[in-house]
C-alpha cells in the first residue's frame, strides 16, 4: 500500500518505514536458509528502532529470539529510551508470509505486530503484518 492511502475500514494500519522493510528483507536473505528474527521498538505503536536478534532455535524452520538478548531489551535497553516493543519479525525462507500453526501457538506477545518475511520467491520477498491474539489471526495493513 502506498503512503497516504487508507486501509480498508476495520483493518488496523501499521507504519513500516521503507528502510525497516528493506532491513528485514536483507536480514532474511543473509540468514537463509535459517529463519531470521528481530524486533522493532518504538513509542505509541510507532516504529523507531530495529534490532536484529540471535535465533537460538534448532534447525532451519523455527526461530526463538535469544532469551538473554530479549530480557536485556525488554527490561534495560528499551525502557532506558522510553521505547517498547511494537513489532516482532521473522522470516519464512520457504513458505508464504502468513502465520504458521507454530507461529499462532507460540504468540505470547499480543501487543506486538508480527511481521513475516517470505522468501518463497527469492526474487520477490514479501513482508506482511498480523496481530495474533488468542489463536486468532488478523492481518494488519502495512504503510510506508
Positions in the binding site for other proteins (CB under 8 A) = 35, 37, 39, 57, 59-65, 67-68, 70-71, 74-75, 79, 84-85, 88, 90, 92-95, 99-111
Minimum distance from residue 53 beta carbon to other proteins (Å): 8
By beta-carbon proximity to other proteins, the closer residue of 6 and 122 is 122
By beta-carbon proximity to other proteins, the closer residue of 7 and 45 is 45
Chain position carrying cell 532474511? 28
First to last CA, the chain: 8
Q: Are 27 and 39 in contact (CB under 8 A)?
A: no
Give the integer Cα–Cα distance in Å for 60 and 114: 19
By beta-carbon proximity to other proteins, the closer residue of 69 and 143 is 69
Minimum distance from residue 64 beta carbon to other proteins (Å): 4
Q: Is 44 left (phi over 0), alpha (psi -120 to 50) or beta?
A: left
Give the integer Cα–Cα distance in Å for 78 and 83: 5
By beta-carbon proximity to other proteins, the closer residue of 16 and 86 is 86
Minimum distance from residue 4 beta carbon to other proteins (Å): 31
**Of 103, 106, 89, the residue nearest 36 (C-alpha):** 89
Minimum distance from residue 33 beta carbon to other proteins (Å): 11
Amino acid at each position: 500500500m502506498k503512503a497516504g492511502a487508507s486501509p480498508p475500514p476495520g483493518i488496523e494500519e501499521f507504519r513500516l518505514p521503507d528502510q525497516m522493510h528493506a532491513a528485514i528483507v536483507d536480514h532474511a536473505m543473509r540468514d537463509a536458509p535459517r529463519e531470521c528474527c528481530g524486533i522493532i521498538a518504538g513509542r505509541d505503536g510507532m516504529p523507531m528502532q530495529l534490532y536484529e536478534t540471535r535465533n537460538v532455535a534448532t534447525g532451519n524452520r523455527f526461530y526463538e529470539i535469544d532469551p538473554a538478548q530479549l530480557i536485556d531489551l525488554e527490561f534495560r535497553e528499551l525502557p532506558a529510551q522510553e521505547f517498547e516493543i511494537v513489532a516482532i519479525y521473522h522470516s519464512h525462507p520457504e513458505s508464504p508470509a502468513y502465520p504458521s500453526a507454530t507461529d499462532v501457538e507460540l504468540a505470547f506477545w499480543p501487543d506486538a505486530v508480527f511481521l513475516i518475511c517470505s522468501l518463497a520467491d527469492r526474487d520477490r520477498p514479501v513482508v506482511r503484518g498480523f496481530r495474533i491474539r488468542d489463536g486468532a489471526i488478523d492481518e494488519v495493513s502495512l504503510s510506508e
